[in-house]
Amino acid sequence: MTGTITEAAGAADASAPRVREMSMQQAVNAALRTVLREDPRTLVFGEDVGALGGVFRVTDGLQEEFGAERVFDTPLAESAIIGMAVGLAMNGWRPIPELQFDGFAYPAVDQIVNQLARMNYRSRGAVPMPVTLRLPSFGGIQAPEHHGESLEALFAHVPGLKVCAPCDPQDAYRLLLQSVRCDDPVVYMEPKARYWDRRPVELAHDPGDMPVGRSRVLRRGRHATLVAWGAMVHRCLQAAEYAAEDGVELEVVDLRWLKPIDAEGLAASAARTRRAVVVHEAPLTAGLGAEVSALVTERAFGALAAPVERVAGFDVPYPAGPLEPQYLPTIDRILSAVQRTLEYKRP
């Protein structure tokens, strides 16, 4: 695995091919190499990200290439990792800390909410916080307890933070470049279940035609819109394939940026199809799907033929191991929500 990641990441060199097939894990590695090369103020640090290359080997080979002063391990103390990132950013660095699993982020919430998110506001813009917090996120790998969570609503609720979640290797590369080059703190949520998804990736230094806060339509349809982010985008694309066998054409929107949310793009899609279903892994109550549903309803109410449906995890702690498949939204649950919205009759 180590050699494969290093070889694929090497495609970021100017002399290498600009399009390479790679996994999401390799695409993130390639993006980290790009930003480390282009700005000497960029630092990568966290638990086991150095010689080991991270628990998912996403940082494989970075310490060897850039040295232990720029890619280094930290103690097992998440609050200290974020506190260190804040202090470094205040002194002109551009830190990229990694917390090993999303469930380990809870001890760092104090630093994330009260320092990382507020420092720029507190200083009236004098102290920018160009920190990109890499967070292996969501479920789908049947890991032990605390190793799978869906924390996007927590972070998206905090003023001062930006939040994004890629769904494929190309967007993982593009979104990480955008995040690191941004002067605001970004929580970059990597879907663990998609780390091994392999696709062609264009290794351009300019993330291109999609500014921060823009969603994208991955599949065009006319009967209903599916909105998702992270690993659930892939599941929605699978559901759309099944629906097509019955003549139902579903549009699939990858939200990408969970804060700021592309309200206009979502409304435009919902207005075209007149129906919308939001899919996410987090528990239903107060999940980010509620915010997405509200935005769609506010901006496309006159065009909607049915209320916005939500398909989400259940209101229980994120389960470990073999119970995960029963918790995560399934294709059947997504298609059932589509059927409800298609059959809805106004009173």
Tell me which residue has tokens 């995560």: 328
Is residue 147 flagged as an active site residue? yes
Query: Do residues 198 and 170 lie in contact, with contact meaning Cβ atoms separated by under 8 Å?
Result: no
Indicate if the pLDDT at residue 15 is higher than 60: no
Condensed to tens digits (0 to 9), the pLDDT of residues 236-294 reads 999 999 999 999 999 999 999 999 999 999 999 999 999 999 999 999 999 999 999 99
Q: Quote the percentage of the chain above a pLDDT of 90.
A: 88
Indicate if the pLDDT at residue 12 is higher than 80: no
Q: How confident is the model at residue 21 (pLDDT cuts 50, 70, 90)?
A: very high
Domains and CATH numbers, the chain: 2-202 (3.40.50.970), 216-343 (3.40.50.920)
Q: What are the two backbone dihedrals, phi and then psi, of residue 26, each rounded to the nearest 5 degrees?
A: -70, -35
Query: Looking at 146, 147, 157, 280, which residue is catalytic?
Result: 147
Q: How confident is the model at residue 321 (pLDDT cuts 50, 70, 90)?
A: confident
What burial class does residue 76 get, using C-beta atoms within 10 Å of its C-beta: 0-12 exposed, 13-18 middle, 19+ buried? exposed
Q: How confident is the model at residue 4 (pLDDT cuts 50, 70, 90)?
A: very low
Mean pLDDT of the chain: 93
Q: How far apart are CA 246 and CA 3, in angstroms?
A: 45
96 Cβ contact list (under 8 Å, min separation 6): 32, 35, 42, 43, 44, 45, 131, 132, 133, 134, 180
* Sign of the alpha-carbon dihedral angle for 214, 219, 221, 225: negative
Indicate if the pLDDT at residue 188 is higher than 70: yes
181 Cβ contact list (under 8 Å, min separation 6): 35
Taking residues 187-193, report their average pLDDT. 97
C-alpha triplet 176, 281, 328: angle, nearest 5°: 130
Q: How confident is the model at residue 145 (pLDDT cuts 50, 70, 90)?
A: confident
What burial class does residue 73 get, using C-beta atoms within 10 Å of its C-beta: 0-12 exposed, 13-18 middle, 19+ buried? middle
Least confident among 15-24, 250-259, 330-339: 15-24
